[in-house]
Chains A and B, each alone.
Chain A
């Protein structure tokens, strides 16, 4: 039942002489929360950029459901069902919350110019569907009441949640979250924790997570990968990672 969703083998990214990521392997199964941890500058975000097509990896294969996606363009990858958030919130600040949600559904809408100008029934129906779909996800993350607010005026925690909702509205199979808890207070972190678990259990998607908040990572991850200086260091469940001497050494330094 737990099929392989994402299979990354020997992912390597070189910037000139700098080896940023060196032979990273990752496996994400259906309905799994997988975390990537590592000290600052370990290359976690570079891995994300490679997977989401912002960088084209120098070497290695990235298989999404038996389909090679390494080398595809960023928008093509996200259309295949692999969507990401960013370390710093990237919303369309001047647009309203609901408009943020509609932009994300751009490719599901009738973008034909003529049908838009004439407001054909098909155009209206798709527009209405998109609205309902957006409203549904806003409700899921508890932002429905703020639908008509300008996105830039939301609180930081709300902006984080809107970013996740905006990804979910594209109907992804794998959601990649880059430090979603950064800058959140303990309460908001707890809500985020619940939201991520709900995404896995209720909405049946997989989540790949980069996070520094160890209590969050250890609490919700089904599997954890540790990267240090671009190289894979260890992987296993929370208990295995906590007891791994290499990991402790990488984080705390040698005695």
Chain B
């Protein structure tokens, strides 16, 4: 054991001590009308001490610990899965079964779970949209939430001022978000990497601040409430029809009113939207435009020399990604019934980006898994209340350390030349 190890261990333990005592050891509490700083209880200090000891010893004996972990035999997952050829014949059946399960499932569980699943589906949609921009075209976008906001506000405003229905607004929202993507993309797509990231970050903030301050139209921080829910061919899901003479869903089908119909209906719309988006992106990846995105990510200079117009190609990725976010935004507004700029802060962009990176850039399967984890985990971890972000951070660090290519690394849909 060298002294550098000891130094490392002491250093790590020291950092943990400082962080833990600041974050856990000291608490601000309201004491009547003033704030009071309160120290932690003895048991909490004991836990902190224990934690620091763990950090210290694990650093000190890191080599031995690594060896111990290395000795654990890793299960061979590859061998457990069916052969590649079998997989291709099984695949359509698996997908069909999955869709059927997704459609039947909401009728058997609680309303809360269906609601959570709907939220997850929104994040899947957003993740898939950003995946076009970041994963396929390789353009780092930190302001993706702006397009989500544009989609949501487009529906909210059209619904409030013109009484337009969800179904009419869905394509309009996507088109509006795409238009904003085009507008932003045109000047900034000459930039690359870090520079692009900063500009998109700024754009995201501009949209949010605009929504916050344009009080006369957007209602500012108060947001817009009472956004109409989607109906089924004109049938509403409310207890009573809003307008005289209109028929509600339960009346039409002669059923008792149940508020969970509305939730399940929203969930089913989300499922259909997500399936649509997945199909769309799957096709895009196999089309010339998808290949051009990847080629541009791989080597921009070579693309230019081969007569590819990089601005047009990047713009198409940006616009298509934005329109997906527009879809998600429109649906989000319909589900919530109320939106405000609060829903479109930077952390949302960060979460969507985290979904893409955690899932594996470019990999649709990975993004779906990551979106599920990222939305369900905070719900499960609700008991840990304020430590939940800490847990979240820890998960990210672990993932990036051991699986930097993501949960399900991207597998390119390789085009094969059939040999005669």
Interface 9-residue window, one of A92-100, A188-196, A217-225, A243-251: A92-100
Main secondary structure of the interface of B (DSSP, over half): helix
Interface size, chain B (Cβ < 8 Å): 28
CA A74 to CA B304, docked complex, whole Å: 6
**Within residues 275 to 311 of chain B, which ones have a CB less than 8 A from any CB in chain A?**
280, 283-284, 287-289, 291-292, 294-295, 298-299, 301-310
Q: Are B288 and A111 in contact (CB under 8 A)?
A: yes
Interface 9-residue window, one of A8-16, A31-39, A55-63, A83-91: A83-91
CA A110 to CA B380, docked complex, whole Å: 48
CA A116 to CA B281, docked complex, whole Å: 12
Q: Are B415 and A99 in contact (CB under 8 A)?
A: yes
Please, which residues of chain A bring their CB within 8 A of the CB of B292? 103, 106
A135 within 8 A of B: yes
B414 within 8 A of A: yes
Please, which residues of chain A bring their CB within 8 A of the CB of B416? 96, 98, 148
Quick one: which of B284, B287, B291, B304 contacts A75, CB cutoff 8 A?
A: B304
Quick one: which of B283, B295, B307, B415 contacts A79, CB cutoff 8 A?
A: B307
Q: Are B305 and A83 in contact (CB under 8 A)?
A: yes
B91 within 8 A of A: no
A109 within 8 A of B: yes
A1 within 8 A of B: no
Known: A75-B307, A75-B308, A103-B308. A116 touches B289 (CB 8 A): yes
User: What 0/1 pattern do residues 113 to 141 of A give for CB contact below 8 A with B?
Assistant: 10011000000000100010011000000
Please, which residues of chain B bring their CB within 8 A of the CB of A117? 280, 283, 287
User: What 0/1 pattern do residues 42 to 60 of A give for CB contact below 8 A with B?
Assistant: 0000000000101000000
Q: Are A102 and B306 in contact (CB under 8 A)?
A: no
Quick one: which of A75, A90, A170 contacts B309, CB cutoff 8 A?
A: A75
Closest residue to A53 on the B side, CB-wise? B304
Q: Are B298 and A94 in contact (CB under 8 A)?
A: yes
**Within residues 70 to 88 of chain B, which ones have a CB less than 8 A from any CB in chain A?**
none
Quick one: which of A106, A110, A111 contacts B306, CB cutoff 8 A?
A: A106
Nearest 8 interchain pairs by C-beta? A90-B302, A78-B307, A116-B287, A147-B417, A92-B298, A103-B295, A74-B304, A79-B307
Interface residues of A (CB under 8 A from B): 52, 54, 74-75, 78-79, 83-86, 90-96, 98-100, 102-104, 106-107, 109-111, 113, 116-117, 127, 131, 134-135, 144, 147-148, 166-167, 170
Q: Can you list 6 A-B contacts (CB < 8 A)?
A: A74-B305, A75-B304, A86-B305, A93-B298, A98-B417, A106-B306
